Structures are given as C-alpha cells and as structure tokens.
Amino acid sequence: MDFKHLIAYQKAFKLAMDIFEVSKTFPKEEKYSLTDQIRRSSRSTCTNIAEAYRKRRYPKHFLSKLTDSDGENSETATWLDFAFSCNYLSNDIHETLYNECVEIGKLLNYMMSNPEKFGSSKVLD
C-alpha cells in the first residue's frame, strides 16, 4: 500500500488544500506570519504522515514521525483559532476546518496505538 491510500494522509492533504484556499483571503500584512505558518503546519501534518509510513519498519521512527504529525496538526488547529479570533474566518469555516483537525488527530492517535496495522511493530518501553 502507498501512503497516499491512508485515510489520515488523504484528510490531511485535503485540509492543507482547504486552508491554502481560505488563507488567500487573509490580509496582506499576515503573509509572513499567520498565512505562512498555517500553510506550513497543515502541509507538515501531511508530509510527516508520508515520512512515517516510509519508516514503518522501524517502530520508534514510525511513532516519532506520527507524533511530529500530530504536533503539526495541533499547531494548525491553534492557527485556525487565531484566524477566527482575528475575524479572518467565519464561525462556520472555522468550525469545519477545526473539526477536520480533530478527526485527523483521532486517526493519528489510532495509527500510533496500532502501528502493527500499518506494517510496524508496537514499541515496548
């Protein structure tokens, strides 16, 4: 299986593209701060899933990259809160995008809790 078939990857990619589109409406003065940061973190969520999958035969690396992805996803959710508080997003758009972050987080947690289902082994502490 290719990482692009993972539901977490697909949802993270879609979220990154949705954020790219909505962030086009952010004020120009946010270009090098909020706009850049939210685009980077949402894309990084996705790319870390891809990296994790490629490292799945090494359980600690797999979990480490998934943890990185989860952190980037949480960062994206925080940037969405900032965008909403600055009135750059409507309540409906914020809620929709934020809920996508929550769903991605649940999928990442499932992957971390069940690495063997993705071709990795459980890491015993």
Alpha-carbon span 19 to 66, nearest angstrom = 21
Would you list the DSSP string of 6-32? -HHHHHHHHHHHHHHHHHTTS-GGGII
The two three-digit tokens of residue 76, written as one number:
């994206």
- Nearest to 37, CA basis, from 52, 54, 16, 53: 16
Quick: pLDDT tens for 87-104: 999 999 999 999 999 999
The verdict on domain 8-116 having CATH code 3.10.580.10 is no
pLDDT at 122 exceeding the cut of 70? no
Q: Which sequence spans correspond to the domains of the chain?
A: 8-116
The proportion of the chain whose per-residue pLDDT surpasses 70, expressed as a percent, equals 97
- Mean predicted confidence (pLDDT) in 77-90: 98
pLDDT tens-place string over residues 5-22: 999 999 999 999 999 999
Say whether pLDDT at 123 is over 80.
no
Please determine, for residue 119, whether its predicted confidence score (pLDDT) is greater than 90: no
Q: pLDDT tens digit string along 21-49?
A: 999 999 999 998 999 999 999 999 999 99
pLDDT of residue 124: 58
| pLDDT at residue 120 in the model | 82
